[in-house]
Amino acid sequence: MESYTRRDTRAAWLMLAPFLIFFALFVIYPLVMTIYYSFTNYNMSNEPGLVGLKNYQRLLKDTVFHKAFLNTTIYALVSTAALAVLGFLTAAALNRATRAVKWIRMLMIFPYATSWAAVSMIWLMMYDPTTGFINKLLRVFSLPTHQWLFDESLALGCLIFVHVWKNIGYCMLIYLAGMQSVPQELYEAATVDGASEWRKLTSVTLPTIRPVAFFVITTAMLEAFKTFTQVKVMTGGDPLYATTTIVHQIYQRGFTEFKMGYASSMAVVLLVCVMAFTALNSAVNRARSGGDAL
- Range 249-277 average pLDDT: 95
Q: What share of the chain is helix, strand, coil (3-state, %, to 5)?
A: 75, 0, 25
**Residue pLDDT, tens place only, 178-199:** 999 999 899 889 888 888 889 9
Residue 24's H or E segment, with its range, is: none
pLDDT at 293 over 50: no
- Other beta carbons within 10 angstroms of residue 278's beta carbon come to 13
Residue 115's H or E segment, with its range, is: none
Query: Which is it for the CA torsion 227, 242, 276, 163, positive or negative?
Result: negative
Mean pLDDT over each residue of the chain, to the nearest integer: 92
Confidence of residue 6 (pLDDT cuts 50, 70, 90): confident
Query: Which residue would you say has higher pLDDT here, 292 or 210?
Result: 210
- Range 256-272 average pLDDT: 96
Any residues with CB less than 8 A from the CB of 190 and at least 6 apart, and which?
A: 199, 200, 203, 204
Query: Which residue would you say has higher pLDDT here, 285 or 172?
Result: 172
**Residue pLDDT, tens place only, 33-78:** 999 999 999 998 888 999 999 999 999 999 999 999 999 999 999 9
**Residue pLDDT, tens place only, 130-179:** 999 999 999 999 999 999 999 999 999 999 999 999 999 999 999 999 99
Query: Which is it for the CA torsion 247, 282, 84, 157, positive or negative?
Result: negative
Query: Residue 128, CB half-sphere, CA atoms under 13 Å: how many?
Result: 11
CATH superfamily of 63-288: MetI-like (1.10.3720.10)
pLDDT at 292 over 60: no
Supply the pLDDT for residue 74.
97
